[in-house]
Amino acid sequence: MEREQELAIIRRAYAKQILAQVQVDNSRLEQAFAEVHREDFLGPGPWVIPRWLGEYVRTPSADPVYLYIDSVVQVIAERHLNNGQPSGHARWITSASIKAGEHVVHIGTGTGYYTAIMACLDVPGASSDGGAAAHKQIVGRQRHLTFHWRSSLQGSRAASDRR
């Protein structure tokens, strides 16, 4: 089995588990969670994730398989920022009842992972190919925005350090 096929199976299982955990039955959302590659929104690995008793632990390697769990991932350690818990976002996205073709504004997008998931819901008649195309477009935009987001956070930190 090729690595991409293996990751596709892992992503599909992750999507099913995330939605099952919060008792959400939404095939479009499940497809979006399975198709949007979480690692594309978290920078290069290894990544830092929380474990028991508030301890954060680095993943053993940069293998994206370690990201497909229902856990936050640390984004900026010194600011105590993470990317948000998948099951919580699945519930909130479901409660928003996003319909295909609707315009959605996501305030406070962070790294853009959940924005990408919502964008996949917005693709009218999205198929696997449609979701993948939306994902590729969003990844390119989010890499640009994430750079500016991190730069502005670092800039605001520098400004607050001068006070």
Measured CA distances, 124 to 79, 100, 134, 154, 161 (Å)? 38, 5, 11, 38, 47
Neighbours of 29 (CB within 10 A): 22
Q: What torsion do the CA atoms of 16, 17, 23, 24 make, to the nearest 10 degrees?
A: -30
- What's the pLDDT band for 119 if we cut at 50, 70, 90? confident
Residue with tokens 């099952």: 20
Band (pLDDT 50/70/90 cuts) for residue 149 is very low
- pLDDT tens for 17-67 read 999 999 999 999 999 999 999 999 998 999 999 888 878 899 999 999 999
What angle, 0 to 180 degrees and rounded to 10, lies between the N-to-C axes of helices 27-35 and 113-121? 130
**Cα gap 50→32, rounded to integer Å:** 24
State which residues form the domain around 148: 3-40+83-162
Least confident of 89-98, 101-110, 145-154: 145-154
**Is residue 90 domain-resident?**
yes
Q: What confidence score (pLDDT) does residue 124 get?
A: 57
